[in-house]
Amino acid sequence: MAPATYLPSYLPIILERGDLTQLAVDAIVNAAGPTLLGGGGVDGAIHDAAGPELLAECSTLGGCAVGDAKLTAGYRLPARHVIHAVGPIWRGGDHGEADLLASAYRRSLELAVAHGLRTVAFPAISCGVYGYPHAQAAEVAARAVRDFILAHPGALSGVYLVAFDDAAAAAIAAALAELGAYERIIGGLLGLIVGDALGVPVEFFRREALDRAPLLDMIGHGTHDQPPGTWSDDSSLTLATAASLTSSRTIDPEDMMRRFADWLERGEWSAHGEVFDVGITTAESIKRYLSGAPAPWGGGGEMDNGNGALMRIFPLACALRRATAAQLIERAGEVSALTHAHPRSRLCCAYFCLVVRAVFRGGGLLSAMNEAAAALAPSLPASEAAALARILDASVLDAPREQIRGSGYVVHCLEASLWAAHRHQGFSAAVLAAINLGEDTDTTGAVTGALAGALYGREAIPRRWLEALARGPELLAVAERLAAL
């Protein structure tokens, strides 16, 4: 299997295993001392490889403060330049070391961009003689580089974090994997809400009408006569689920149900304080809960298999991204059953969570689907195998558009989102393709938006769509809390 590409494409941060002095990049970064007059470790290796002219130039620079960096030529090195960065000496972690280390990375990249350099390779600054533990240093480095790249889009084409030994490599790999999951979780939650808001104005539109006049952008009014950027029950119940998971930091289905009831009765987590477009099975389940009936409150009949649980299950995949597949499958079924208790809805929720968290780890959609199908196989009742057949063998991905439905049936919704994400590159194309299937467009938009947002990361979502969302800042805060779990 191809190595996981931890990070979305807009973050070209690459783990490189080997000797920094041999990299033919625009600039390698030296883990220098404040005098800039050479030393051991990578500093010594760089001066040895560059030749005496490097020391001669360094001698003219007047040293360098901790957390700062200075640029020289590369001389006999394959790299055109050397950026001499001075990291902090580790003193236990409460002497501002993290800020100084982040500054050393940031200043190095500022110098690179100021000189039009696009490829930069770093050693694990401060992790040798200066004693900075690899795990903490790699996390600081990965975040500092991510923040710089997001603030300077397109300025760099590759930032290499070079590991000279296994300890460094493991720490950098773990830090990049966490960074990738963070970007993908935020992308998935915001993508779900954007997909929902895109679909709201054309909900219940027939495909023929959308074939004649496809949805191309975020519009308003239409079916529910709501202003542009208005999201519906899909996002409201997703946000209520996320709020439950991030506030109690446990999985408490009763707490989730109470929040669902707060939404239905008081418009909690609605876009403009008004509840519209409530699913029948969801409403009946919440009313059962409010009447004091015992759990499970969800409808368990075969005709209760609407997409009302699938549309709100994404936050559970975030909260359980480190759990075992068996734990995730069990909890997804439990959370589905709050409103949708039939095995089919439970299995679709479990499958979607398994796919999404494989995507968080950098896996592609098809490998994530195969992994999910394999994990579900042992717990799949024969009665459900037929209904889910095209999903479990992934043949739905190759189905012609005429065989893909955007209805409110949970299997159709899941099939449509997988099909749209697989057959259309990029966030916008995938979500619009799902919505233009017609019928339950806000939910196919939401589920596809969650999947595509996770696949491509938050920066792949058009900014104008994010800026159109009602309560935008609050949504980002929820997404960041979810990503920090």
Question: Judged by CB under 6 A, does residue 479 bind ligand APR?
Answer: no
Burial 179-208 (b: 16+ CB within 10 A, else e): bbbbbbbbbbbbbbbbbbbbbbbbbebebe
Does residue 43 carry a catalytic annotation? yes
Among 18-26, 61-69, 191-199, 460-468, the segment contacting ligand APR (CB under 6 A): 18-26
Which are the contacts of 251, defined by CB distance < 8 A and separation ≥ 6?
A: 245, 316, 319, 320, 331, 334, 335
In degrees, rounded to 5, the angle at the alpha carbon of residue 281 between the alpha carbons of residues 280 and 284 is 85
Distance from C-alpha of 262 to C-alpha of 472, rounded to nearest angstrom:
21
Distance from C-alpha of 93 to C-alpha of 359, rounded to nearest angstrom:
33
Q: Residue 126 or residue 336: which is nearer to ligand APR going by CB?
A: 126
Antiparallel, parallel or unpaired: β 158-163 and 119-122 = parallel
Question: Judged by CB under 6 A, does residue 315 bind ligand APR?
Answer: no
> Looking at the chain, how many residues does it have?
485
Q: Shortest distance, CB of residue 20 to ligand APR, whole angstroms?
A: 3
Among 52-60, 122-130, 333-341, 447-455, the segment contacting ligand APR (CB under 6 A): 122-130
Among 6, 75, 105, 130, binds ligand APR (CB under 6 A): 130
Which residue is associated with the tokens 């009665």? 383
Q: Residue 48 or residue 254: which is nearer to ligand APR going by CB?
A: 48
Among 129, 135, 476, 485, binds ligand APR (CB under 6 A): 129
Tokens of 405: 């439905």
Residue of 71, 67, 174 whose CA lies nearest to 125: 67
Among 7, 15, 25, 31, binds ligand APR (CB under 6 A): 31
Catalytic residue among 19, 26, 43, 94: 43
Question: Judged by CB under 6 A, does residue 52 bind ligand APR?
Answer: no
Among 108, 126, 236, 339, binds ligand APR (CB under 6 A): 126
Question: Judged by CB under 6 A, does residue 48 bind ligand APR?
Answer: no
Among 20, 120, 197, 350, binds ligand APR (CB under 6 A): 20
Distance from C-alpha of 197 to C-alpha of 267, rounded to nearest angstrom:
17
Distance from C-alpha of 212 to C-alpha of 300, rounded to nearest angstrom:
38
Q: Residue 42 or residue 416: which is nearer to ligand APR going by CB?
A: 42
Question: Judged by CB under 6 A, does residue 300 bind ligand APR?
Answer: no
Among 7, 13, 27, 42, binds ligand APR (CB under 6 A): 42
Question: Judged by CB under 6 A, does residue 164 bind ligand APR?
Answer: yes
H-run or E-run covering 207: helix 207-212
Q: Residue 95 or residue 221: which is nearer to ligand APR going by CB?
A: 95
What's the number of CA atoms in the CB half-sphere (13 Å) around residue 249? 3
Q: Shortest distance, CB of residue 18 to ligand APR, whole angstroms?
A: 7
The footprint of ligand APR (CB under 6 A) covers 19-21, 31-33, 39-45, 87, 123-130, 162, 164-165, 168
Residues serving a catalytic function are: 43
